[in-house]
Amino acid sequence: MKYTVKCWECGKEIENHFLDACPSCNGSLTIDMELSHLQGTSPMDLRSRPIGVWRYAHFMPIRSEPISLQEGGTPLYDCEKLAEEYGLRKLHVKFEGANPTGSFKDRGMTVGVTRAVELGCKVVGCASTGNTSASLAAYAAKAGLKCVVLLPSGKVASGKLAQAMFFGAKVVTVDGNFDDALRVVKELAHSGDLYMLNSVNPFRPEGQKSLAFEILDQLDFKMPDRIVYPVGNAANIWAAYKALKEWQQLGWIDELPMLTGVQAGGSAPLVMSFAHGQDDFIPVKDPETIATAIRIGNPASGKKALRAVYDTGGVMTAVSDREIIDAQFLLGRMEGVGVEPASAASIAGVKKLMDEGKIGRKEKVVCVCTGHVLKDPDTVIANCGKVLKASATAEDVRRVISS
Ligand code: AN7
């Protein structure tokens, strides 16, 4: 697959494989895929390969055999009961919890870790609110690479922490938030201590494009009106935009769905700039939310995400912790779909935007639910009722369940 790494801001071609920003203007990096060989084909032609990230190999900047755990190919649920509850024509949930490590990060990591192997790197690393570290640790294990992950101390859900430790990463908690951890891991990457696989590495969003490709594939290429993403570091919604533009450029699709981003109220720098029509943003100093995955004040791909939203006629909105937990439980108890709090932000965002009349009742909406409920069991238990206790007799169990 032919491609060039470029600065997204000034267009400069980037030759050095180890940069995470433009050496001229400090802009973020992106990858231009050469797709002309696909002119005259259709996305149906890809269906001979199993669904998953590598069905879309033509759109991935990888030339070698991928390091893969069979990521992608996650369910797209038609949530009829929830749609009826909200008064919406159609509501699909793309359940990314069904990925190998339980989050969408695996889509970017199969590409990112394969890239690390192509470059001959021996140590990979990232800063993470949890899911990126769990995913990187697993793919590094598969590839036989050493792995270092930097986590904000005390703010990583236990399932994610367990995964990173389990897969053998060196797990370091830093005294600060995600934004601090990202600053430090960049320094380590610049001094050659490790190859950084945060989403500022442009190979990561390339893999995450497959999420949008799959949604269209699973809808038989009938475009939904809107795709809703939870937004933290903002790479995922940007990746969707890039994916859709590539298919549009090939004439595989016409219109783009309205890309809609949802942040947690205490960590919502992009919502504030969207409200003012600005294309840049002011970082939030002390981000806070129960949805620790998106507890990020300075989203690395924030400007790109704003472009994605403006250019598709979408919106950015913020939801409260209460709205997030309510949406998480509603989805679980009405549809049997278990997602972590950050993922439920997309569902909560739909409700909020419908209440405000910004999503119309006739729309067909896809919500991306990015991670599994088991990632954060403590939040679930804290928000459920008590466990019932009984002695080991049918009589006593009958007593407690009927009271
Ligand atoms: C479940 O793992 O940033 O807007 O370090 O884990 O692309 O950042 C996680 C982000 C949404 C936000 N949902 O995606 C990390 C990390 C879940 C997440 C997001 C994350 P981006």
Q: What is the CATH number of the domain that holds 326?
A: 3.40.50.1100
- Give CA–CA dist 286/290, Å, rounded: 13
On whether residue 197 sits in a domain, the answer given is no
Ligand 1: nearest atom to the Cα of 236: 7
Specify the residue for token string 């990746």.
239
For residue 312 the two structure tokens come to 């598709």
On whether residue 43 sits in a domain, the answer given is no
Name the CA dihedral angle for 306, 307, 309, 315, rounded to a multiple of 10 degrees. Answer: 50
Ligand 1: nearest atom to the Cα of 103: 1
Specify the residue for token string 């900047």.
61
- Give CA–CA dist 133/131, Å, rounded: 5
On whether residue 377 sits in a domain, the answer given is yes
| Tens-digit pLDDT profile for residues 65-121 | 999 999 999 999 999 999 999 999 999 999 999 999 999 999 999 999 999 999 999
> Phi, psi at residue 112, to the nearest 5°?
-65, -45
What is the pLDDT, as a whole number, of residue 138?
A: 99
Q: How far is CA 238 from CA 77, 303, 380, 385, in A?
A: 23, 9, 29, 38
Percent of the chain at pLDDT > 90 equals 99
Which residue's alpha carbon is at the smallest distance from atom 4 of ligand 1?
Answer: 234
What range does the domain containing 344 cover?
76-102+203-382
Residue 300 CA to ligand 1 center (angstroms) comes to: 11
Q: Is-contact 65 117, C-beta < 8 A?
A: no
On whether residue 403 sits in a domain, the answer given is no
Helix extents (H) in 119-218: 131-143, 158-166, 178-190, 203-218
On whether residue 215 sits in a domain, the answer given is yes
Three-state DSSP class for residue 86: helix
Question: How many structural domains compose the chain?
Answer: 1
Ligand 1: nearest atom to the Cα of 134: 2
Query: Letter for the amino acid at 128?
Result: S
Ligand 1: nearest atom to the Cα of 160: 2
What is the pLDDT, as a whole number, of residue 403?
A: 86
Residue 394 CA to ligand 1 center (angstroms) comes to: 45
What is the pLDDT, as a whole number, of residue 381?
A: 95
Of 105, 126, 173, which is best to mutate to test ligand 1, by the most ligand atoms within 8 angstroms of its C-beta?
105
Helix extents (H) in 219-268: 235-249
Neighbours of 186 (CB within 10 A): 17
Residue 293 CA to ligand 1 center (angstroms) comes to: 5
What is the pLDDT, as a whole number, of residue 385?
A: 86
| Tens-digit pLDDT profile for residues 223-269 | 999 999 999 999 999 999 999 999 999 999 999 999 999 999 999 99
Query: Letter for the amino acid at 39?
Result: Q
What is the pLDDT, as a whole number, of residue 155?
A: 94
> Phi, psi at residue 163, to the nearest 5°?
-65, -45
Specify the residue for token string 């913020």.
318
- Give CA–CA dist 272/353, Å, rounded: 16
On whether residue 245 sits in a domain, the answer given is yes
What is the pLDDT, as a whole number, of residue 195?
A: 98
Q: At what angle do helices 105-118 and 203-218 cross, to 10 degrees?
A: 140
Q: How far is CA 163 from CA 71, 185, 282, in A?
A: 16, 20, 33
HSE (side-chain half, CA atoms, 13 Å) at 285: 0
What is the pLDDT, as a whole number, of residue 128?
A: 97
Residue 129 CA to ligand 1 center (angstroms) comes to: 7
Q: Is-contact 219 257, C-beta < 8 A?
A: no
Q: Which residues 6+ apart lie within 8 Å of 291 measured at CB?
A: 230, 264, 321, 324, 340, 341, 342, 344, 345
What is the pLDDT, as a whole number, of residue 218?
A: 98
CB-neighbour burial class of residue 259 (10 A; exposed 0-12, middle 13-18, buried 19+): buried
On whether residue 221 sits in a domain, the answer given is yes
Residue 168 CA to ligand 1 center (angstroms) comes to: 21
**In the 8-state DSSP scheme, what is residue 13?**
B
On whether residue 71 sits in a domain, the answer given is no
Low-confidence ranges of the chain (pLDDT < 50): none
Specify the residue for token string 């419908």.
354
